[in-house]
Amino acid sequence: MDENVTTAVLEEWVRRFAHLVAENRDHLTELDAAIGDADHGLNMDRGMRAVVAALDAGTPATAGALFSKVGMTLVSTVGGASGPLFGTLFLRMGSTFGDVQTTSAQELAAALRAGLGGVVDRGKAGPQDKTMYDALSPAVEALAAAVADGGDLATGLKDARDAAAAGRDATTPMLARKGRASYLGERSVGHQDPGATTVALLLEAAAETNF
Ligand code: ADP
Ligand code: MG
């Protein structure tokens, strides 16, 4: 697996994610209405619209600059838990890529893993806490496994998409132990986690991108 992943294709991924978030804004907000404060779709859509505006104003030259811009924009435009959490995910990915114009499947897998580490540092969530972690962690493992096996990146990203979707679905029966949903205790059971749903969209966007 030695594909050259360009900054342009990574930007295409980010723009596709913004598109999916916009399409799913009301759905994400409805999920958050059940176990939170009904703002997750609005939060993420506001943030990703600002990201697209920033990218329209000037294309970052490197993978590091691209993801840093995405992360900083999310942190500065999104309130609530998801701004710092998704912001940190992208910021860590950016610092892992560094100032390179092209990167590799291995680096992409490593960057996503580092992003997960950033989310854990910030939010202290682990498996089964019913958060974005439960979709992101399986996606990280699936992509890493595909890259280690030497398969092509497109297949690896489809595996990661499927793993994230399964992780998202698995949040429904969980009892929330982190974030606003945890205030509900037993009443959080039976509802899909909004943040995990957004992570599944991020991996869906990756699988749809022509890497
Ligand atoms: P808020 O909860 O502040 O209203 P959002 O509604 O935008 O923020 O985002 C809620 C999502 O954030 C949850 O569905 C969950 O996936 C994620 N989340 C909340 N707290 C944590 C945490 N400590 N670690 C990881 N993810 C978290
Ligand atoms: Mg909320």
Pocket flag, ligand 1, residue 97 (CB < 6 Å): no
Pocket lining: 36 vs ligand 1, CB cutoff 6 Å: yes
CB 23 near ligand 1, within 6 Å? no
Tens of pLDDT, residue by residue over 131-163, are 999 999 999 999 999 999 788 999 999 999 999
| List of domains in the chain | 4-206 (1.25.40.340)
Count Cβ atoms within 10 A of the Cβ of residue 150 and give its class: 0-12 exposed, 13-18 middle, 19 or more buried: exposed
HSE-CB at 164 with a 13 A cutoff on CA atoms is 28
Structural contact between residues 116 and 150, judged by C-beta atoms closer than 8 angstroms: no
Distance 177 CA to ligand 2 centre (A): 15
DSSP SS3 for 102: strand
Mean pLDDT, the chain, whole residue set: 96
Pocket of ligand 1 contains residue 113 by CB under 6 Å? no
Q: How remote is the CA of residue 70 from the centroid of ligand 1, in Å?
A: 18
How far is ligand 1, taken at its centre, from the CA of residue 123, in Å? 9
pTM: 0.98
What's the pLDDT tens digit per position in 84-125? 999 999 999 999 999 999 999 999 999 999 999 999 999 999
| Strand extents, DSSP E, 94-156 | 102-103
CA-closest residue to ligand 1 atom 24: 123
Tell me the pLDDT tens digit for each residue of 17-60.
999 999 999 999 999 999 999 999 999 999 999 999 999 999 99
